[in-house]
Amino acid sequence: MNNNINNYSEDQTQEFSRKLFAGECQFFAASTNLENLPPPGLPEIGFAGRSNVGKSSLINALTGRKTLARISRTPGRTQQLNFFNLNGYMVLVDMPGYGFARVSKTRVRSWTNLMHDYLKGRPTLQRLCLLIDSRHGIKASDKELMNELDDAAVVYQIILTKADKVSVKDITEFSRGFELMRKKHPASHPEIIATSARKDKGIAELRSSLSLLVAPYHFR
Ligand SMILES: Nc1nc2c(ncn2[C@@H]2O[C@H](COP(=O)(O)OP(=O)(O)OP(=O)(O)O)[C@@H](O)[C@H]2O)c(=O)[nH]1
Ligand SMILES: [Mg+2]
């Protein structure tokens, strides 16, 4: 059944998203402050969330590359905004995590400020993927960011990570709880996607969802 809002069939969407994410993906800029952001160009998708939630791993899984974005067991691996050009269609932006990180508080504050400034002021940002660890759920620091995004009218989509570590029941419960919470979060996207970068779960679904953001310009 064709149930997506852009009126493309499931097959068309999947084919487009497969091609989009199988193509070239190149790192082209890293920013440590607002002055050295690359000029806005292609539509951008941001990946934000607490330290160690799995942002860099998810970007690698989406693009089918193991080492495109650097990952680590130690929270605080990504310390700048990293920009990846996906096949000339869109830009994926890997962000530093907020919350706990094994680096100085001053540095965390500086990159957290940068992330907030970027999120609120970037004209080409189409959607923020807000990553939540399936085991931990939404924490106070996530809620703070959600409130800010609601105020700035930046659309964000909850993406559960590390779904290989929890049961299907846990995910269903989270989704039910979030459905109730959504009333207070007008900029939240209605669809939650549960992913595991490790087990390749939910990755094709997320690719399709993100592809629809650029598909109207590229379907022939
Ligand atoms: N079990 C499991 N572990 C994962 C998954 N995705 C990432 N991890 C692990 O989580 C840890 C952190 O992953 P990263 O991708 O570096 O997380 P990040 O959010 O980019 O971290 P920072 O850049 O430090 O904020 C690593 O040890 C990963 O192997 C997953 O789907 N399942
Ligand atoms: Mg990272």
Residue pLDDT, tens place only, 22-36: 989 999 999 988 889
As a whole number of Å, the CA-based R_g of the chain is 16
Task: Please report, rounded to a whole number, the percentage of residues in the chain having pLDDT higher than 90.
Answer: 65
Residue pLDDT, tens place only, 66-81: 888 887 777 777 788 9
Q: For residue 97, which atom of ligand 1 is closest to its CA?
A: 25
- What fold is seen in the domain 10-218? Rossmann fold (3.40.50)
Residues forming a β-bridge with 156: 128, 188
Residue pLDDT, tens place only, 69-124: 887 777 777 788 999 999 999 999 999 888 766 667 777 777 788 888 999 899 99
**What residue owns the CA closest to ligand 1's atom 26?**
73
Nearest to 54 by CA among 128, 129, 136, 131: 131
Average pLDDT (172-189) is 96
Pocket residues for ligand 1 (CB within 6 Å)? 49, 51-57, 71-73, 75-78, 96-97, 161-162, 164-165, 196-198
